[in-house]
């Protein structure tokens, strides 16, 4: 309400409460980052002494943590490939074409983001268990794709909508073939969106807990499953270092997306990043 005269007391109250809420959001993350460098046995804040021993323990080759980081990376890489294939094709159909049953396909694509994940996880468990595929990285990745593909599709839809189709028409009028247009015009313009879709698919899978929990076996536990077990049953201080690495991964991923968008000259608002947007 900029037009109304603001009272000083109102301004102060608003600034204080906004700061408090922002601290509420940021504090847990700051606490983890600091605690991970603590030398104490269990997560205490602030630490009395600082060291990198938990990071060394996490990276120890052949250990539980290193194994599950490798598994999570493999699963996330597979998920990224699957989601990009589905993302590019589905977005082409939904953003560019005149698709019969457009609303039905769009609804189907959004549904996995709104249905409780535990139900999806249970369904996938019932699907893969009889096939003896529990614990298979391929099966976990296929499960993760159910959640990651919709996000990739939303990002690709907004990317394709942001590309001026007249550029493609102009190329066609000058005699460029469809392949040439796709390769020389559409693909370069869509690259920032593709990278964003890939990054978000990767972190969606790397951070996913529910599906991985239902589809894992004791020998094949992804990183979030291992973190969850460590937090629930035994407090292994290595978890702080692992958590700090997960934070760094998310920040690097977001910075990468922001950088690519800036270089790609995308001025329009970031879209399709949070699954809630189509609802509003």
Partner 1 sequence: MKTSAKRGHRSRIALVNAVPVTLFLLVLFVYPIVGVLSLSLEGDTGGFTLHWYTDALSGVNLSVLISTLRISAETAVLSLLVGFGLAHAIARMRPVFAALAMLIVVVPHFISALVRTYGWIIMLGEHGLINTLLTSVDAPGAPYSLLYNETGVVIGTTSVMLPYTVLILQGVMRGVDRRLLAAAAGFGAGRLTIFRRVYLPLVAPGVGTAGLLSFILCLGYYITPALMGGDKQTVVAALIDQQVMKQDQWNSAAAFGVILLLLTFAGLGVLGLAKLRRTKAHARRSSS
Nearest to 117 by CA among 258, 240, 215, 247: 215
CB 103 to partner 1: min, Å: 12
Q: Is 37 in the site for partner 1 (CB under 8 A)?
A: no
Half-sphere exposure in the Cβ direction for 65 (13 Å, CA): 20
Q: Which is nearer to partner 1, 80 or 240 (CB)?
A: 240
Question: What is the enclosing helix (H) or strand (E) of 230?
Answer: helix 223-232
* 8 A C-beta contact, residue 69 and residue 223: yes
Residue 41 makes contact with partner 1 by CB under 8 A: no
* Residue choice 66, 163, 254, 256 for contact with partner 1 (CB under 8 A): 254
Q: Which residue, 144 or 264, is less far from partner 1 as judged by CB?
A: 144
Report residue 231 CA to chain centroid gap: 22
Among residues 92, 242, 70, 221, the alpha carbon closest in space to that of 165 is found at: 92
Give the residue with the Cβ less far from partner 1, 42 or 263: 42
Other C-beta atoms within 10 Å of 196: how many?
Answer: 28
Min dist. Cβ of residue 60 to partner 1 (A): 21
CA distances from 174 to 44, 92, 170, 188 (A): 67, 23, 6, 19
d(CA 125, CA 168): 45
Query: Under rule CB under 8 A, which residues in 196-215 are in contact with partner 1?
Result: 203, 207, 209-210, 213-214
Residues numbered 170-199 forming contacts with partner 1, rule: CB under 8 A:
none
Q: How many CA atoms within 13 Å lie on the side-chain side of 60?
A: 11
Among 75, 148, 153, 155, binds partner 1 (CB under 8 A): 153
The 98-117 site mask, x for binding partner 1 (CB under 8 A), equals xxx----x--xx-xx-xxxx
Closest approach, Cβ 267 to partner 1, in A, equals: 15
Q: Is 112 exposed, middle or buried (0-12, 13-18, 19+ CB in 10 A)?
A: middle
- Bond into 46 cis (ω within 30): yes
Q: Quickly count: other Cβ atoms within 10 Å of residue 121's Cβ.
A: 21
47-106: which residues touch partner 1 (CB under 8 A)? 85-86, 89-90, 92-94, 96-100, 105
Interacting span for partner 1 (CB under 8 A) from 48-56, 58-66, 73-81, 237-245: 237-245
Choose which of 69, 76, 140, 149 interacts with partner 1 (CB under 8 A): 149
Q: Of 228, 267, 247, nearest to 32 (Cα)?
A: 247
247 binds partner 1, rule: CB under 8 A: yes
- Give the number of residues in contact with partner 1, rule: CB under 8 A: 86
If the CB atoms of residues 192 and 208 are measured against partner 1, the closer one turns out to be: 208
Residue span binding partner 1 (CB under 8 A) among the ranges 68-76, 186-194, 247-255, 259-267: 247-255
- How near is the Cβ of 56 to partner 1 at its closest, in Å? 20
């Amino acid at each position: 309400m900029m037009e109304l005269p603001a009272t000083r007391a109102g301004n102060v109250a608003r600034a204080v409460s906004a700061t408090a809420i922002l601290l509420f959001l940021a504090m847990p993350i700051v606490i983890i980052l600091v605690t991970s460098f603590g030398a104490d046995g269990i997560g205490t804040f602030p630490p009395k002494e600082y060291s990198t021993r938990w990071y060394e323990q996490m990276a120890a080759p052949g250990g539980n943590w290193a194994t599950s980081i490798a598994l999570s990376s493999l699963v996330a890489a597979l998920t990224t490939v699957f989601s990009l294939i589905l993302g590019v094709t589905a977005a082409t159909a939904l953003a560019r074409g005149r698709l019969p049953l457009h609303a039905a396909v769009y609804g189907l694509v959004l549904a996995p983001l709104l249905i409780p994940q535990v139900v999806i996880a249970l369904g996938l468990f019932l699907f893969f268990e009889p096939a003896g595929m529990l614990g298979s990285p391929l099966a976990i990745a296929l499960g993760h794709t159910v959640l990651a593909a919709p996000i990739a599709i939303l990002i690709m839809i907004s990317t394709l909508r942001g590309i001026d189709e007249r550029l493609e028409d102009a190329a066609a009028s000058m005699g460029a073939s469809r392949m040439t247009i796709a390769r020389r015009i559409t693909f370069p313009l869509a690259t920032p969106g593709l990278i964003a879709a890939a990054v978000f698919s990767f972190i969606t899978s790397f951070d996913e807990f529910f599906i991985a929990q239902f589809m894992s076996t004791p020998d094949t536990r992804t990183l979030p499953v291992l973190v969850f077990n460590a937090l629930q049953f035994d407090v292994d201080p290595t978890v702080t270092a692992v958590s700090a690495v997960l934070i760094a991964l998310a920040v690097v991923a977001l910075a990468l997306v922001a950088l690519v968008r800036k270089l790609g000259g995308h001025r329009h608002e970031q879209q399709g990043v949070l699954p809630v947007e189509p609802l509003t």
